[in-house]
Amino acid sequence: MAAGRAAGRGAGAVPYAWRFDSGRICLDLVATGEPTFRGCGRLDSAIPLGQWLIAAGLLPERTPLAAVDADWVRSFAELRSNLGQLVRAEIDGRPSGTALEAALERVNALASAAPPGIRAVRDERGALVRELCAAPRCGALLAAVARDAVELLTDPAARARLRQCEGDSCLRVYLDTSRGARRRWCSSEVCGNRERVARHRRRTTVRPAPSA
């Protein structure tokens, strides 16, 4: 299971732990809107969104997050909704419709912008680290995620490997890159382990003897 962690921001902030099991950053964003999302918080406010952007690798670790605000939260929530519609339509084999075409148009519009510019700088120990060329901008980060979605949705081989997790009550969508495309869960360590534990409990449950 891939995971990321970003430090809290501000007084009383606590770290959030995130899962990145989907195989693509656009699918990881979609997963944050699911009821079964297992982070310490969903992306419903500025602090968790900023931390998720760092944990996902979209922002370098040392990036100031003061610019992340409610407008960013709304913009990423809208992109997440559009992406969710598109990838689930692909999995379900649903034909295009007015709502899907509108979602696709919005994703394309976001993808047309330039992603964040980056550069290599020396840290305090002299090692090269990644840094943004300018202050983070919401549109540039939305573009990075939208471009990933466009690349995914226009790749026939990748589209054919989109899967819905078979875990109980899990709605995550992931990219099945396993040999033979036999992966059943978004994460073997999480949903797969839950199913194995449940199966073991069913096998070991002692049925009560019938009453006389």
Q: What was the pLDDT predicted at 197? A: 56
Higher-scoring residue by pLDDT: 174, 147: 147
172 contacts 165 by C-beta, under 8 angstroms: yes
Mean pLDDT of the chain: 83
In angstroms and rounded to an integer, the radius of gyration of the C-alpha atoms of the chain is 20
Whether residue 14 is contained in a domain is answered as yes
The count of domains in the chain is 1
Task: Categorize the per-residue pLDDT at 96 as very low, low, confident or very high, splitting at 50, 70 and 90.
Answer: confident
Name the most confidently modeled range: 84-98, 116-130, 163-177: 116-130
Higher-scoring residue by pLDDT: 181, 132: 132
Q: What was the pLDDT predicted at 102? A: 96
* Range of the structural domain that residue 146 is part of: 3-204
Rounded CA separation 41/69 (Å): 16
Whether residue 212 is contained in a domain is answered as no
Q: What was the pLDDT predicted at 7? A: 42
Whether residue 39 is contained in a domain is answered as yes
150 contacts 158 by C-beta, under 8 angstroms: no
Whether residue 54 is contained in a domain is answered as yes
- Least confident among 42-46, 158-162, 176-180, 204-208: 204-208
How many C-beta atoms surround the C-beta of residue 84 within 10 A?
20
Q: What was the pLDDT predicted at 1? A: 42
Q: Please give the share of the chain, as a percent, with pLDDT higher than 70.
A: 77
Domain CATH number, residue 186:
1.10.3300.10
Residue 111 pLDDT exceeds 90: yes
Q: What values do phi and psi take at 5, rounded to 5?
A: -145, 140
Q: What was the pLDDT predicted at 24? A: 95
**Reported pTM:** 0.82
Q: What was the pLDDT predicted at 142? A: 98
